[in-house]
Amino acid sequence: MATLLITGAAGRIGSALRPRLLSAGHDLVLLDERTPSDPVAPGERFVPGSVNDVGALDDALIGADTVVHLAGIPTEAPWDDLVAANLTGTKNVLERAAGAGVRRVLQASSIHAVGLVPEPLDEPGTVPGDRLPRPDTYYGVTKAGMELLGSLFADRSGMSIVSARIGAFGERPSSRRALLMWTSPDDLLRLVLATIDLRKPGHHVVWALSRNTGSPADLAAGERIGFRPLDDASTVLDPGARAALPAEDLRYLGGGMADLPLGRSTS
């Protein structure tokens, strides 16, 4: 079994992955500035600190063989804040992981790295997971930059790095867009498990999405590294619940983020 460092472990995605990874038999190191709301369980170790605190990173990396890098600002924000958290923070994680001999990293990129791709609603499966970036915000730019850092460290340090373009993450789809671009917690777990099994160095940009009926996402890039999502947003909700979902902008993959003022925080 693996020992995984989860950065940003107290966040929404980290909180959903923790019990699933423990159930799969893995040990976890949890790094976050905030104490996780769920108590630290047997098989877990909590290290307080941020990805810009290299001392805390070095402590958290002791004994780890895989990193799940989730820390960062998850939406549009001022440029300098995004660069510090999402780019410098990712550089620190990859640099310290490489120095510690960690060979596998899954890092949370985003659909917003390709957010201004016009959404081909009538052409399912046409947008590859490793499509060239077309960001919709400064946030999306930093996620595209994260992917470039993944490429750099995979090539220079012989690491296996997966840049996971996460969509509408949640236990259930929460909008009509999510019916197409949903990421279920169980499918994200499957991508983490596929990353743990990687042995050949390389950088892989993949859709971290469920197998949603009618989605424009082509899942082939993920399948090439053993990621085979099983969930489908169209089967999670009954027809009445699907019809009641709020409408959302469907012009672009990133939806309404394209209309946000650049650099303005949404929190």
- Domain extent listing, the chain: 3-259
**pLDDT tens digit at each of 267 positions of the chain:** 899 999 999 999 999 999 999 999 999 999 999 999 999 999 999 999 999 999 999 999 999 999 999 999 999 999 999 999 999 999 999 999 999 999 999 999 999 999 999 988 778 999 999 999 999 999 999 999 999 999 999 999 999 999 999 999 999 999 999 999 999 999 999 999 999 999 999 999 999 999 999 999 999 999 999 999 999 999 999 889 988 999 888 899 999 999 999 999 876
Residue among 146, 126, 121, 120 nearest 135 (CA): 146
Residues 263 and 77: beta-carbon distance below 8 Å: yes
Task: Quote the CA–CA distance of 79 and 74 in Å, as a whole number.
Answer: 13
Residue among 193, 225, 229 nearest 22 (CA): 193
User: Which pLDDT value is given to residue 121?
Assistant: 76
Cβ atoms within 10 A of the Cβ of 189, count? 17
Report CA dihedral (109, 73, 215, 136) to the nearest 10 degrees.
-90
Q: Which fold has domain 3-259?
A: Rossmann fold (3.40.50)
User: Which pLDDT value is given to residue 8?
Assistant: 98
| Residue 253, both tokens | 């993959």
Residues 21 and 34: beta-carbon distance below 8 Å: no
Residue entry with tokens 């600190």? 49
Long-range Cβ contacts of 167-170 (<8 Å, 24+ apart): 167/111, 167/207, 167/208, 167/209, 167/217, 168/111, 169/12, 169/13, 169/16
Residue among 227, 183, 172 nearest 204 (CA): 227
Rg (CA), the chain: 17
User: Which pLDDT value is given to residue 267?
Assistant: 65
| Residue 247, both tokens | 């409408």
Task: Quote the CA–CA distance of 105 and 41 in Å, as a whole number.
Answer: 23
